[in-house]
């Protein structure tokens, strides 16, 4: 009888969902949230057939150099810039992600940040809690309207489109920029109009970033782009750290060249740029855009399905629903 295959679950995530892996594999599951060193990742991957990983776990060529059994990595996240896809493909390691299940929750959160930043919610709460509310002033804590304004969206994938659909209720005009223009029918459904990036920056009263991170989107919003935006504008980043130049953003916020920002992701998270921490006109959250109970469970469940299938088990054996790198199967000769 052949030995059972082994999988590593790098972070503690919904044990009752992860338990489904035990029907097929021996599971080594982390007992505590861990920020792994590269050497620890390499160790963890050395003797396993698959791994269920989070977006904070970085896996590159050196991490898999000794991982001779490794066949599949299931990422719990739609973004997978934590993984070196080229290296994993070349090694015949299938990679999967978790799209769709987080789209609506993440779009909800873009609006949470947008509303909070535009209407200065966290700043107002801090002021109240600090005991400053001893009198009443008509001009205190004035914010920016969303209704009737222009919403810009950079990146019009599934989440961008879900953000756009919500703008209808606020009576907003929606502009978007994306590498490729959407079909006319989809544009109509989202009531969104494609514009060039320069026009997007100049015309948006509120700009939401939803582009994946990669070499092409590194510092997509830096000092030059911020200089093109309205000084009354609000910027929201729910995409990835590195899409925004955090130092340049903090500078613009401090100097009043941008009204406010709402950020869920940062260049060096979990560290946040000290200049951002010092800005009163920015709402900061710790990468929680997909963090509703139902969605986080659904993400783990989908990642578990993906891993089971990628390792050739279950009803979708060898057909993982969310395979990112089909070329890995060629490298493996499957
Ligand atoms: C994270 C995300 O997965 O899906 C993504 O790409 O960034 C998030 O949903 C989640 O926040 C866990 O870190």
Predicted confidence band of residue 7 (pLDDT cuts 50, 70, 90): very high
Is 269 a known active-site residue? yes
Give kind and range of the element (H or E) at residue 67.
none
pLDDT at 329: 76
pLDDT at 331: 72
Tell me: pLDDT of 334 over 70.
no
Q: Which of 290, 297, 322 to mutate to test the pocket of ligand 1 (most atoms within 8 A of CB)?
A: 290
Q: Which of 213, 210, 252, 211 is closest to 233 using CA atoms?
A: 252
C-alpha count within 13 angstroms, C-beta hemisphere, residue 302? 22
Taking CA atoms only, the protein residue closest to ligand 1 atom 2 is 77
Rounded to an integer, the average pLDDT of 135-147 is 95
144, 177, 240, 296: the catalytic one is 240
Tell me: pLDDT of 270 over 70.
yes
Is 206 a known active-site residue? no
Taking CA atoms only, the protein residue closest to ligand 1 atom 4 is 77
**Distance from Cα 110 to the centre of ligand 1, integer Å:** 13
**Distance from Cα 292 to the centre of ligand 1, integer Å:** 11
**Distance from Cα 264 to the centre of ligand 1, integer Å:** 10
What are the tens digits of pLDDT across the range 8-45?
A: 999 999 999 999 999 999 999 999 999 999 999 999 99
Rounded to an integer, the average pLDDT of 73-90 is 97
CB–CB of 67/46 below 8 Å?
yes
Is 287 a known active-site residue? yes
Predicted confidence band of residue 114 (pLDDT cuts 50, 70, 90): very high
Taking CA atoms only, the protein residue closest to ligand 1 atom 1 is 77
Q: Which of 54, 78, 241 to mutate to test the pocket of ligand 1 (most atoms within 8 A of CB)?
A: 78
The tokens describing 171, both together, are 């009576």
Cβ contacts of residue 97 below 8 Å, gap of 6+? Answer: 75, 77, 78, 79, 80, 306, 322, 324
CB–CB of 162/107 below 8 Å?
yes
**Distance from Cα 78 to the centre of ligand 1, integer Å:** 7
> Pocket residues for ligand 1 (CB within 6 Å)?
54-55, 76-79, 102, 287, 290
What's the CA gap between 51 and 30, in Å, rounded? 11
**Distance from Cα 290 to the centre of ligand 1, integer Å:** 6
pLDDT at 1: 46
Pairing state between β 260-263 and 173-177: unpaired
The three-state secondary structure class of 11 is coil
pTM of the model: 0.95
Q: How high does pLDDT run on average in the chain? A: 96
pLDDT at 231: 98
pLDDT at 3: 83
Nearest atom in ligand 1 to 76's CA: 3
Higher confidence at residue 189 or residue 331?
189
Taking CA atoms only, the protein residue closest to ligand 1 atom 6 is 79
Rounded to an integer, the average pLDDT of 288-316 is 98
Q: Which of 10, 33, 56, 77 to mutate to test the pocket of ligand 1 (most atoms within 8 A of CB)?
A: 77
In degrees to the nearest 10, what's the CA dihedral of 161, 163, 166, 172?
Answer: -100
Residue 16, CA distances (Å) to 21, 261, 300, 331 in order: 10, 37, 10, 34
What domains appear along the chain, each with residue ranges and CATH number? 6-100+293-331 (3.40.50.720), 103-284 (3.40.50.720)
Q: Which of 302, 300, 295 is closest to 105 using CA atoms?
A: 295
Predicted confidence band of residue 2 (pLDDT cuts 50, 70, 90): low
């Amino acid at each position: 009888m052949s030995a059972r295959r082994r999988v590593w679950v790098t972070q503690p995530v919904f044990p009752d969902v992860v338990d489904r892996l035990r029907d097929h594999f021996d599971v080594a599951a982390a007992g505590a949230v861990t920020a792994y060193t590269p050497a620890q990742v390499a160790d963890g991957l050395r003797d396993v057939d698959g791994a269920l990983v989070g977006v904070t776990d970085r896996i590159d060529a050196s991490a898999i150099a000794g991982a001779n059994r490794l066949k599949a990595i299931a990422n719990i996240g739609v973004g997978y810039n934590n993984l070196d896809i080229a290296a994993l493909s070349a090694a015949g390691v299938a990679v999967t992600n978790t799209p769709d299940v987080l789209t609506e929750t993440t779009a909800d959160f873009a609006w949470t940040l947008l509303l909070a930043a535009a209407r200065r919610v966290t700043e107002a709460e801090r002021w109240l809690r600090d005991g400053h509310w001893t009198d009443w002033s008509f001009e205190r804590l004035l914010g920016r309207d969303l209704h009737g304004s222009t919403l810009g969206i950079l990146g019009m994938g599934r989440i961008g489109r879900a953000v756009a659909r919500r703008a209808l209720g606020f009576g907003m005009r929606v502009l978007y920029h994306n590498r490729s223009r959407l079909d006319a029918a989809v544009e109509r459904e989202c009531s969104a109009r494609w514009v060039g990036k320069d026009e997007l920056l100049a015309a948006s009263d509120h700009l939401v970033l939803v582009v994946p991170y990669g070499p092409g989107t590194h510092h997509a919003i830096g000092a030059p782009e911020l200089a093109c935006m309205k000084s009354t504008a609000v910027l929201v980043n729910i995409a990835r750290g590195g899409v925004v130049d955090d130092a340049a953003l903090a500078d613009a916020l401090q100097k009043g060249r941008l009204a406010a920002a709402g950020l869920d992701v940062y260049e060096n998270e979990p560290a946040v740029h000290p200049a951002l921490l010092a800005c009163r006109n920015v709402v900061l959250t710790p990468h929680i855009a997909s963090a509703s109970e139902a969605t986080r469970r659904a993400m783990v469940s989908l990642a578990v399905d993906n891993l089971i299938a990628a390792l050739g088990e279950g009803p979708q054996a060898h057909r993982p629903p969310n395979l990112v790198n089909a070329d890995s199967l060629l490298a493996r000769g499957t």
